[in-house]
Structure 1
Amino acid sequence: MVFLFLVYVMLMLNAAAAATPKYVFAHYITGNAAHITQDQLESDMKIAKHAFIDGFALNIAQQDQNTDFVLQKAYAAAEKVGDFSLFLSFDYLSGGPWPVDRVVDTINRYKPHPAQFYYNKKPLVSTFEGVGNTNDWTEIRNKTDCFAMPDWTSLGPESFTNVRDKVDGFFSWDAWPFGTENKSTEGDEAWANATGGKPYMMPVSPWFYTNLPQWNKNWLWKGAHLWTQRWEDIYYFQPDLVQIISWNDYGESHYIGPVHEDGIPQGASRYVQDNPHDAWRALLPYFIASYKTANRSRIRVVRDTLVFWYRPNPNDSGSDGGTTGNSPQHGQPAMDPRLLAEDKIYIAVLVKEPSFILAQIGDGPIVSLEAQHSGINSFEVPFDGQLGNTTFAIVRDDKEVAYATGPPITKECVDGTINWNAVVGSS
């Protein structure tokens, strides 16, 4: 699949004009990479670069015996790929809090590496949570000279203001909407204000569904419009950095990287295997170029591209598998997941000129939609009880300029349970 379909004014012009360049990273779960080879890591990094991603945020858990092994492979792979950066994201929930001395040792061990990402001339370091260890970071910063940009989202913006002097910036994990409302930038505005002028890293994620009983995880959040809506928000919000959640968190269904079967957590194969999300990356060059230039007039689409996503099973197909809408674990009221997961196909197109978009489910009627302007256009098409394979096309001047097909919408559910993950494809 070729994603370099954009010609745009060199992003270096934007970097030169800004006091601090903008960057986009993808969250990478090292715990899912124990069996991945260095060659596979290099391939993933090349694919990420091709989508204009600057590097990976390496999520590491202190009780994972493979952490150091994966880090060594990752840094070696990034150095070989070249022009691809890494930084450490210490996971304080998976496996428990990190001891200060081990955090210091890990940062100091990898910060001299050529692939280590530096921000404001310091090695960038982040976390996944760790609100019980906020006091550790004064010592960690003193002993490593790192640029600490943690995710302490569970504190809330008001409480974060009491500890922001201990760090250099903030990364929010608040990437999904709660309940039936679409995601807004209200939380981003609150966090950006709470940093007191320090850099803010904004999250973006295309989806969320998890069913991993061994970790007591079984919920979904509304996500149908996230991939297009949040990048639109990023374009206007213009945060200092962006982090995509995620590259390879298969268990939570928001992966945009290739599926490596050895990395799928136990229990997730039912909704992940044979269900790639690679096509979501087809939109990234446009999204990232828009963010970094802050001026879409400098971007020209040179290849008409259509991306679609939908759930393979309608809401009345089978058992909900005990999945809740919203997460009681996060103090949210549980809802019927069917209220958040609509029976619709979602379509995003990048077109060179105004065009018509055609969509069909099975042998049903062809739906005609109008992309009224060049660049990004988004649509949704209800299932309306139809089943079967899906077909899509971009038509302009009575000529088909792009074509795609998708797997069937079906009431045949694996193990009788609705798959709440997304099917994703492109032209």
Structure 2
Amino acid sequence: MGAFIIALALLGPTAVSAKSVFAHFMVCNTANFTETDWRTQIGLTQTAKIDAFALNMAKDEATTKAQLPSAFTAAEALQFKLFFSFDYAGNGDWNKATVTGMVNQRRASAAYFKYNSKPSVSSFGGPASGADWKNIKTAIGCYFIPGWPSLGAKTALEVAGGVADGLFSWDAWPSGSRSMITYPDASYFNFLSSKKYMALVSPWFYTNLPGYEKNWPWRGDSFWVDRWNHLISGEFQPEFFQIISWNDYGESHYIAPLDDSQYAAFTTGRASYNYVINKPHNGWRELLPYFITLWKTRTASIMQESIVSWYRQHPKGACSSGNTTGNTASQLQVEVAPSVTVQDEICFAAPLGSAATVSVTIGGVAVAATWNVVPTGGVGIYSGSAPTGGRTGTVIITLARSGTTIVQITGWPISPTCTNGLNNYNAYVGSMWGVSITARSPTLAVSKMKCARGFGANGFAGLCEWRCAHGYCPEAASFGTKPIGYTLSGLSPAYDGLCAFVCARDYCPSTACSYTKGTTDCVAVFVIGGMHSLEWCLLFKSLFTKKVSNRASVS
């Protein structure tokens, strides 16, 4: 994997009993499914090393009653797992008696996913019905992990006297031109304590369905690989991952094969055109066996080298945006032009057994291609990018070693011509496998790696990059006799530990730190991921206000 990456919020190791990976599955798309279709979908999921489908179901959908028998029959035959995820946002709140009856009907199935011997149940939205879950849990003894993203971690945990056994945040995409960060994950870990966290990971987001009042992309580009690396190597380890999604084609984050029987959303959502056609995403799925194995066991093997690439097939200013905005006011975000959010670049990732060079041509013209993440020891998933510079034409990506091509992919061309004159912000994903190699694994397990490169947003960026390269861990740092640093007056106390460490080593940036002690409070804490300033302040205070004497001995 890449240089050992740690988020800003460094927490102590979390005990893990049984890590599991789920894929968010839209049951509403299965109106035309047969049991054979379910078997096919499940088989692909098992190849990707996903443990279960989280079956998303809105109230009163005909597909739910019609398809659950086939789904469970197929899952039982293939020894796969399923669990219910009740969607309260689609058609309103579920009736608690209906929920109880559905879980009781399927809980005895060998295919129903259980945690600590309890049938697992999830939900999306519906915190106002939180009290219903007290009755539901009493009736069926389920393990309940809701997604109540409108509340934030602290408030969600207080719903109905703490009815949730764990939480997931649905904060799976970056905002604006910012790359993905793990601050929201840190918030959940801080407030959840002994309760379990389900982290979300998603490869992309673009939706243009006016019938559902949805029309925006969020920044994607490198963050499928970045998100896995951040959460695999972070100090805090979630109990569960949920991939968003297996088959939500309307939001462009599907990793299942293209399937024209599942495109009803483009009709009901009154889409101007189907932006999924000729946009396969299979290559993202092909990276999962390595990432999932690495997360669960802390090591993994490469047995066949390959290349996966993804990019938008139009320069971002080629055609009309079609009233698409970057970000969305519906999620309390400042809307910007899509060109601010998206990037004109070719992204690529390659599972390799040893170092290789990468080159990219667009329309026969070579463009600069670089690896942005190189695995420790040379074994693992390399990832990088190449700016398109607005060029158009056929895309060819080549991996070579010692002057010999080991794998090459020819992707669909980038074109200045758009369907219906509208820019399509969905991604084309291509992949190509090379020859099999003798199995190779990283020389170090993830658990034995040390921090080599840090990252942070806003004022934390330089501080995190500098201190991580020097091996700083806030809970265990030791200092020499140089003056200790303090946070500038008015800034968040999140800076306290960072300034104390870096200033003692002659790096004391005037934008955040000072050798003179000031006053920090909650007023200046910025808003990240839609969370309230006060909640971020409480989080950062609990994580970073531990003081360390400037007379501590040098380690």
User: How would you bin the TM-score normalised by the shorter chain?
Assistant: over 0.9
Within a 5 Å distance, the mapping from 1:47-126 to structure 2 comes to 47-82=44-79, 84-126=80-122
Q: How many Å separate the matches in 2 of 1:278 and 1:105?
A: 36
Matched AA of 1:273: I
Alignment size in residue pairs = 406
1:138 aligned counterpart, secondary structure: helix
Q: 2:317 & 2:167 partners in 1: Cα distance? A: 42
On the 8 A contact 2:59/2:91 being kept in 1, the answer is: yes
Q: Which moved more, 1:239-248 or 1:171-180?
A: 171-180
SS for the counterpart of 1:69 is: helix
Counterpart CA distance in 1 for 2:53 and 2:35 is 15
Using a 3 Å threshold, how does the CA distance of structure 1 residues 194 and 403 change in structure 2: closer, same or farther? same
Q: In angstroms, what is the RMSD of aligned CA positions?
A: 1.4
Q: Identity rate of aligned residues, in percent?
A: 39
Q: Which amino acid aligns with 2:82?
A: L
Distance in 2, Cα, partners of 1:281 & 1:272 = 16
Q: Is the 8 A contact 2:219 2:342 kept in 1?
A: yes
In 2: Cα distance, 1:332 partner to 1:35 partner? 37
Task: Give the secondary-structure state (helix, strand or coil) at the position aligned to 2:429.
Answer: strand
> Quick check: 1:138–1:167 contact (8 Å CA) kept in 2?
no
Q: Which amino acid aligns with 1:246?
A: S
2:424 is matched with 419
Q: Aligned residue for 2:363?
A: 362
Distance 2:59 2:362 in 1: 47
Match of 1:154 in 2: 150
The alignment partner of 1:136 has SS state of helix
CA distance in 1 between counterparts of 2:78 and 2:38 reads: 10
Deviation digits for residues 312-333 of structure 1, max 9, x if unmatched?
A: 1111211101111111111111
Deviation (angstroms), 1:366:
5.4
Structure 2 match to 1:279 = 283
TM-score normalised per structure 2: 0.71
SS at match of 2:304: coil
Q: CA contact under 8 A between 1:201 and 1:242: conserved in structure 2?
A: yes
2:312 aligned residue = 311
> What residue is the counterpart of 2:407 in the other structure?
402
1:351 aligned partner, one-letter code: L
Q: Distance in 2 between matches of 1:103 and 1:87?
A: 12
In the alignment, what sits opposite 2:256? 257
Q: Deviations over 1:231-271 (max 9, x none)?
A: 01220232100000000000000000112212111255521
The amino acid of 1:292's aligned partner reads K
**Residue type at the aligned position of 2:115:** Y
Contact 2:369 2:384 (C-alpha < 8 Å) held by counterparts: no
Whole-Å Cα distance in 2 between the matches of residues 374 and 367 of structure 1? 23
SS in 1 for 2:74: helix
Deviation at 1:300, TM superposition (A): 2.3
Structure-2 residue corresponding to 1:292: 296
Whole-Å separation in 2 of the counterparts to 1:118 and 1:191: 22
Deviation of the 1:134 alpha carbon: 1.0
The answer to whether the aligner puts 1:194 opposite 2:197 as a matched pair is no
Q: Which residue of the partner structure matches residue 346 of structure 1?
A: 347
Q: 1:30 aligns with which of 20, 24, 27?
A: 27
1:378 alignment counterpart: 383
1:211 match = 208
CA drift at 1:155: 0.8
Residues 258-309 of structure 1, C-alpha deviations (whole Å, 9 max, x = no match): 122121112555210121111111110111011101x23xx22121111110
1:169 aligns with 2:166: yes
Consecutive unaligned residues in structure 1, runs of 5 or more: 1-17
8 Å Cα contact 1:310-1:422 kept in structure 2: yes
- Is the alpha carbon distance of 1:180 and 1:366 closer, same or farther for their aligned partners in structure 2, counting shifts above 3 Å? closer
Query: Which residue in the other structure is 1:234 paired with?
Result: 231
Name the amino acid aligned to 1:385.
G
Distance, in Å, in 2 between the alignment partners of 1:124 and 1:346 is 36
Unaligned stretches of 5+ residues in structure 2:
1-14, 433-555
| Larger deviation, residues 317-326 vs 299-308 | 299-308
- Tell me, in whole angstroms, the C-alpha distance in 2 between the residues paired with 1:175 and 1:109: 32
Measure how far apart 1:99 and its partner are: 0.8
Greater Rg over alpha carbons, structure = 2
| Displacement of 1:160 | 1.6
CA drift at 1:196: 2.6
**Residue 43 (structure 2) pairs with residue 43 (structure 1):** no
Amino acid aligned to 2:356: S
Separation in 2 of the partners of 1:364 and 1:140?
62
SS in 2 for 1:303: strand
Give the Cα–Cα distance (whole angstroms) in 2 for the partners of residues 347 and 368 of structure 1: 10
Scaled by the length of structure 1, the TM-score of the pair is: 0.92
Residue 131 (str. 1) matches residue 127 (str. 2): yes
- Report deviation, 1:367: 4.2
1:320-335 equivalences under 5 Å are 320-335=321-336
Is the partner of 1:139 in helix, strand or coil?
A: helix
Segment of structure 1 superposing worse, 349-358 or 191-200? 191-200
Instruction: State the partner residue of 1:302.
Output: 303
Q: For residues 68 and 128 of structure 1, what CA distance do their matches in structure 2 show? A: 19
